[in-house]
Structure 1
């Protein structure tokens, strides 16, 4: 007996054709990291491909605030777990682990913000 309900295939934002099904690891990676959305401008062979890649990257920069929100939730979550482990559980090593990860996520938030500012507000020559 076959199932009538199948989940919709995943696709890249802005594309008309559906992509292949993603594994959980790939889906989690795409949920947290945004590099798969962008094209490498330096890999372009000529000026037209470079311009097209830059335009594509500027269009995809509209998704960076979504990733910024995701990473800010991670930072607050990690910081909250660090406070919980330090104050309630009295586990200093575990709290240091969570505080370290909150610093890493805040650093990621800075990278996302800078990338978004450079891409969203850059003028095309």
Structure 2
């Protein structure tokens, strides 16, 4: 008799923009927008975490291996800027690249993904 282990795919949203009042009111925040666009709510086989990288919140480097993929959001900031959080995000993306992790960049997220 075997024991079944439930394994969910795990993804991280790296949010590079702050929620506008409109997005909060209509969607409940950007997190909900991205999960609705890319998530698979019907089968509940995914777990999504959000990190507000724009505010300096990043995933623990020791936990990166637990993620199946990452989505980097758009942002009103300059992808070539030298804000600390942008530089830290670029470092994180270099790490994910070396780990051969799947990364989807949206606008700003795509630009910072190419800076490496």
TM over 0.5: no
Query: Which of the two has greater helix per residue?
Result: 1
TM-score, normalization by structure 2: 0.26
TM-score, normalization by structure 1: 0.24
Query: Which of the two has greater strand per residue?
Result: 2
**Structure with bigger RCO (C-alpha 8 Å, 6+ apart):** 2
Q: Over alpha carbons, which structure has the higher Rg? A: 1
